[in-house]
């Protein structure tokens, strides 16, 4: 129980003393049970937890000065919160989305004006699906320590028109999205493909022989 009293005697050499309380004159306590700065002194008003030790009489535990603030109760341990991934948009995302919209607009314009053969749209759809699959397989291989897909092959898929799928695969799979050197080359392939598509749409006569060779 919690009790109050006054240090009646204290032996500095042996490190123990006695407390006088309202119901006992000889409550034993040891220096290791004293909670406070410095050492106990005769006449010090203290607060303590009193226990009974067999037939030896009362003993004081957690003795502290009555003028010192009571120790704060330990706070209940909060369960660890799951770590959240950074929800901020990756660098360059607004530019990438803008270029995707322009890219789709060029494809739509090219199809409407017959500047692009119909098979080009189907080929680009398959190419983007293959690009997404290539990133997924490379991510899985990286986790399992298997043979990796060459970065040159990933860049080749991007420059041929698979760069939109490459962008989303990098973000969703968290793959190749933080490697600065790879990202720099990726942006170069993106811009090169967009420039080539613009030429095909606005100057179809220049590219018609090349496109007809695939038919």
Q: How far apart are CA 145 and CA 153, in angstroms?
A: 19
Rounded to two decimals, the pTM is: 0.52
Q: How confident is the model over 67-81, as a mean pLDDT?
A: 65
More confident call, 192 vs 85: 192
Written as six digits, the tokens of 203 are 């100057």
Share of the chain above pLDDT 90, in %: 30
CATH number of 2-65: 2.40.50.140
More confident call, 73 vs 60: 60
Written as six digits, the tokens of 135 are 């990133």
Residue 104 above 90 pLDDT?
yes
pLDDT digits (tens, 9 = 90+) for 41-65: 888 888 888 888 777 778 888 888 8
> CA dihedral in degrees (73, 74, 75, 79; nearest 10)?
-160
Residue 185 above 90 pLDDT?
yes
Residue whose token pair is 């897909």:
149
pLDDT at 71: 57
Domain boundaries, the chain: 2-65, 93-212
pLDDT at 108: 93
Q: How far apart are CA 55 and CA 58, in angstroms?
A: 9
> N- to C-terminal Cα distance for the chain?
95
Which residues partner with 20 through β-bridges?
6
Contact 49, 61 (CB under 8 A): yes
Give the number of other Cβ atoms within 10 Å of residue 22's Cβ: 8
Tell me which DSSP letter residue 88 carries. Answer: S
DSSP H stretches of helix in 65-173: 93-112, 118-144, 151-157, 163-173
Contact 123, 160 (CB under 8 A): no
């Amino acid at each position: 129980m919690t009790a109050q009293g006054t240090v009646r005697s204290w032996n500095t050499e042996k490190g123990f003393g006695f407390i006088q309380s309202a119901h006992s004159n000889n409550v034993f306590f040891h220096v290791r049970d004293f909670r406070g700065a410095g050492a106990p002194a005769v006449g010090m008003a203290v607060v303590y937890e009193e226990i009974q030790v067999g037939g030896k009489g009362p003993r004081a535990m957690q003795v502290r000065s009555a003028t010192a603030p009571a120790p704060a109760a330990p706070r209940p341990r909060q369960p660890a919160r799951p770590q959240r991934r950074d929800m901020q948009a990756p660098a360059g995302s607004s530019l990438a989305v803008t270029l995707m919209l322009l890219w789709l607009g060029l494809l739509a314009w090219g199809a409407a004006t017959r500047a692009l053969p119909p098979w080009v749209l189907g080929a680009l759809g398959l190419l983007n699906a293959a690009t997404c699959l290539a990133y997924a397989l490379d991510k899985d291989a990286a986790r399992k320590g298997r043979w990796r897909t060459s970065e040159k092959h990933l860049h080749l898929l991007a420059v041929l028109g698979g760069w939109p799928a490459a962008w989303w695969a990098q973000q969703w799979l968290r793959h190749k999205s933080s490697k600065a050197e790879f990202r720099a080359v990726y942006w170069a392939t993106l811009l090169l493909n967009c420039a080539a598509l613009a030429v095909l749409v606005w100057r179809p006569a220049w590219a018609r022989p090349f496109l007809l060779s695939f038919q």
